[in-house]
Structures are given as C-alpha cells and as structure tokens.
Amino acid sequence: MSPILEIRNVTKKFGGLTANNDISFDVAPGEILSVIGPNGAGKSTLFKQIAGFEKPTTGEVRFKGERISGLAPHRVARLGVVRTFQETTIFRSMTVRENVIVSHHLRSRASLLGYFLGTATARADEAEFARSADEIIDFLGLGAIRDELASNLPQGHLRALGMAIGLATQPQVILLDEPFAGMNHDETMRMVALVRRLRDERGVTVLLVEHDMPAVMKISDRIVCINFGEKIAEGSPAEIQANPRVIEAYLGSEDAAIGM
C-alpha cells in the first residue's frame, strides 16, 4: 500500500538552531503512528511543518504523492491533513456545539456572500453542519455538555472537543498533539479507546506526538523516535522498547519513561 503521508528529508533551522535534521518516514493509510522523543526533541516543530504552520528549511512533506509542505495551513487542511493543538486550543467563548459547527468550514458549498444573503445552499449547509456536529458530539460522548461554554470545560473534555473540531473538517490524516497530556489513568484509557475508534470507525489515519509512554505503547501501530532533531529509531512498539538508542535517549529514567 502506498503511504498516505511521506516525510522526506525534512530539516528545519531556526537561525543557528537545528530543530529537525533530515527526518524521513512514511505513514500508511489507516495507521496510528506516534512520534516520541524527550522534551525539545523537535516533535512539535515536525508537526507544524506537516500541517503547514512552518515551512521546512529543506526537504518536503507529501500527502498522497502531492507536496504539501510550504502550503498555507488552510490549504493543507483542505486537502485533508488537520492538526489539533498542544495547548488545548479551542474557541473559548463559543459553546461546544458552536465550536464544532463553525469547524465545518471546509465542507461549505455556499460562498461567504451566499451565507450573508441566506441562499438555499447556505441554509442547506447550515442544516447539514448542525446535523453533522451533533453526530460528532455524540460520537465523542460530549452530548451532555453540548451547550456548555468551552471556556468552562475541564481538561479532558477540552481535549475531546479539540478532536471534535478536527473531525468536523473530515480529515484523512489527523495530527494529535499530546492528546493524553495532563490526564489521569482512566481519562487516558478512555482517550486511547477514542483514538482507536477514530481510526476503526472513521478510517482516519492518526499521527500523534505524546509523552505518555504506556499510552503510546498501547495505541501505536508504529513509533518514530526523535532526539535532538534527528530520527533515531522507527518500528513497532516492541522494537522501540528494545532499541538501545531509544533507551539511551531516555537514560536516567528509562524504566519510568518507557513504562516497562
């Protein structure tokens, strides 16, 4: 099967600092792939380049064979690669439902003028967005809080809302930035199940950056480990756990960090 996403020799420099150095790997359709690495290894920078928020200094990112690195974020999103955010970024003063409805932007068929005038297409769009938003909200189990203001939500719900926003765009590849951060064990396990369902029921390819090693080992089909901006290992969770370079990267806290 040809890869849905190809990361090809991506290098990113900020002045004298090399955040990513010649990173390459493929993501297969329907895969759950985690990118791990110690703090400051360059994981988020890599994500930003995939989603179009940063342009690689050299190298490129291809989606279904088409180059997407260097495109504006909204163009990348339009193609089907959507990023959720590390800092639980949501539209704070909208309700959960409004958040999800507004995020259906990519599916709109009416023009902005059409929305202003309230044409038949625009009204059909709005009805469809509302229906789809309710469906996504139910899928993620957010039904009870759909009319709650987003700024009032606890951490776990915010994370799910971020995912709902991502799903509303109907992505083919979703980039989850630390979906389990700050969660207790139960919340993490619920989230792991959710991410699985995302892939199994909706066919979304999932790429995630994460620190929570037990969760990563549990959820991932494959793992890419980077350290100091370079890829040091790639493989199945079992291979990664046994990889001496990975252990070295987490040295000093290897048992705790790798979670075994």
Binding site for other proteins (CB under 8 A): 51, 53, 72-74, 77-78, 82-85, 89-94, 98, 101-103, 105-106, 108, 112, 115-116, 118, 122, 125-126, 149, 165, 168-169
Q: Which is nearer to other proteins, 7 or 51 (CB)?
A: 51
**Cβ contacts of residue 205 below 8 Å, gap of 6+?**
4, 5, 27, 28, 29, 30, 31, 32, 172, 173, 174, 199
Q: What angle do CA 197, 203, 208 make, to 5 degrees?
A: 70
DSSP code of 154? Answer: -
Nearest CB to other proteins, comparing residues 72 and 144: 72
Supply the minimum distance, in Å, between the C-beta of residue 18 and other proteins: 24
Shortest approach of other proteins to residue 76 CB, angstroms?
Answer: 8
Backbone angles phi, psi at 256, to 5 degrees: -65, -45
Residue closer to other proteins, measured from CB, 47 or 250:
47
Nearer Cβ to other proteins, position 135 or 200? 135
Q: How far is the CB of 36 from other proteins (least distance, A)?
A: 23
**Closest CB to other proteins among residues 20, 84:** 84
Structure tokens at 181: 């951060």
Shortest distance, position 103 Cβ to other proteins, whole Å? 4
188 membership: H or E segment, kind and range? helix 185-202
Nearest approach in angstroms of CB 226 to other proteins is: 22
**Angle at CA 116, nearest 5°, toward 113 and 120?**
85
